[in-house]
C-alpha cells in the first residue's frame, strides 16, 4: 500500500535538491503535492513530469501573504492540507567576522521566520483535516558549531527550537512536528556556495566517506509525513552518514 495515499502535502523549496526528491517520492507514494518555490521555471517543469497529482505555486516563504496564497490554492485544488514540509532555505556561509546584519537577517527571515510562518499558516487547515504532520528541515550545522557558517548555523539551531516547542503546543490538535537534520548532501546549494576542495575536505570527515543523496533525506521526510510515525512528536532525525554520531 502506498504510504501517503490520500495525503495532500505542501513542499517549500520543492523545485530542486532535497525538495525535488521529496516531491517525486511523495507523489510515487500516493500523495497530492504542491511545489512551492520562487523558481517558476524549474517548479513548472517538475509538475509537468509529476502530472495531475501536483501543482506549482510561486512562493516566497518570507511573506505572510504568500503563505496564505499557497494554503488557499492547495485547499482549493486538493481539498485539504495534511502535510507541510518546510524545506526552503538559504545558505551563504561566512564566518562571524564577515557577517553583517543584512546577511544575518536574510538567514533568519528565510530559515527561521519562513518556517514559523509556514507552521502558523498551515496548522488551522490541518486541524480542519483532522490533524497532520509538519516536517521542518534543519541541518547538521544546527546540531554543532561550524566555523565559517555563523548566520546559517545559528538559524538552523533556531529551527530545532521552533520545532520542539511547536510540537508540544500542537500535539493535542493532532499535529505532529518533527525535524530532519541533513548532513552533507549532494545538492545544487552545496556546490554553488563551496569550492570542490572544500567539499572534498568535508566529505573526508564523514564516516560513510561520501555525500548523502537528496533521495535519502526524502525517505526520512516520507516516514515523518506518513502514519507510520503517528506517535513520533518533537523528534529529530539526522541523515548524515554518521557525521553527527
Calculate the alpha carbon distances from 86 to 37, 185, 227, 245 in Å.
11, 17, 18, 24
Instruction: Give the 3-state secondary structure percentages of the chain, helix then strand then coil, rounded to 5.
Output: 50, 15, 30
Q: Taking Cα atoms as reference points, which of 242, 110, 225 lies closest to residue 183? A: 242
Q: Are 45 and 23 in contact (CB under 8 A)?
A: no
Placement of cell 552545496 in the chain: 190
* Cα–Cα distance for residue pair 221/214, rounded to 1 Å: 11
Q: Where are the beta strands (DSSP E) in the chain?
A: 8-12, 32-37, 54-58, 83-86, 132-137, 175-182, 236-239
Which among 91, 108, 123, 152 is annotated as catalytic?
A: 152
Q: Which three cell numbers stand for residue 16?
A: 530542486
> CA Rg, the chain, in Å?
17
Task: Respond yes or no: is residue 91 known to be catalytic.
Answer: no
- Name the residues annotated as catalytic: 152
Amino acid at each position: 500500500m502506498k504510504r501517503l495515499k490520500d495525503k495532500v502535502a505542501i513542499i517549500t523549496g520543492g523545485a530542486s535538491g532535497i525538495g525535488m526528491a521529496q516531491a517525486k517520492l511523495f507523489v510515487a507514494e500516493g500523495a497530492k503535492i504542491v511545489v512551492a518555490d520562487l523558481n517558476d521555471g524549474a517548479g513548472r517543469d517538475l509538475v509537468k513530469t509529476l502530472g495531475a497529482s501536483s501543482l506549482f505555486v510561486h512562493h516566497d516563504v518570507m511573506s505572510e501573504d504568500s503563505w496564505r496564497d499557497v494554503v488557499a490554492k492547495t485547499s482549493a485544488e486538493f481539498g485539504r492540507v495534511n502535510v507541510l514540509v518546510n524545506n526552503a532555505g538559504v545558505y551563504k556561509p561566512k564566518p562571524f567576522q564577515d557577517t553583517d546584519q543584512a546577511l544575518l537577517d536574510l538567514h533568519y527571515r528565510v530559515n527561521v521566520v519562513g518556517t514559523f510562518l509556514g507552521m502558523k499558516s498551515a496548522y488551522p487547515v490541518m486541524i480542519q483535516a483532522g490533524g497532520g504532520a509538519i516536517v521542518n528541515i534543519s541541518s547538521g550545522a544546527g546540531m554543532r558549531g561550524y566555523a565559517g557558517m555563523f548566520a546559517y548555523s545559528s538559524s538552523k539551531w533556531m529551527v530545532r527550537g521552533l520545532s520542539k516547542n511547536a510540537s508540544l503546543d500542537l500535539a493535542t490538535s493532532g499535529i505532529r512536528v518533527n525535524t530532519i537534520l541533513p548532513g552533507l548532501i549532494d545538492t545544487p546549494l552545496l556546490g554553488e556556495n563551496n569550492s570542490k576542495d572544500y567539499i572534498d575536505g568535508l566529505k573526508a570527515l564523514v564516516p560513510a566517506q561520501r555525500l548523502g543523496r537528496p533521495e535519502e533525506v526524502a525517505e526520512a521526510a516520507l516516514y515523518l509525513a506518513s502514519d507510520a510515525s503517528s506517535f513520533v512528536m518533537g523528534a529529530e532525525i539526522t541523515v548524515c552518514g554518521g557525521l553527527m554520531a
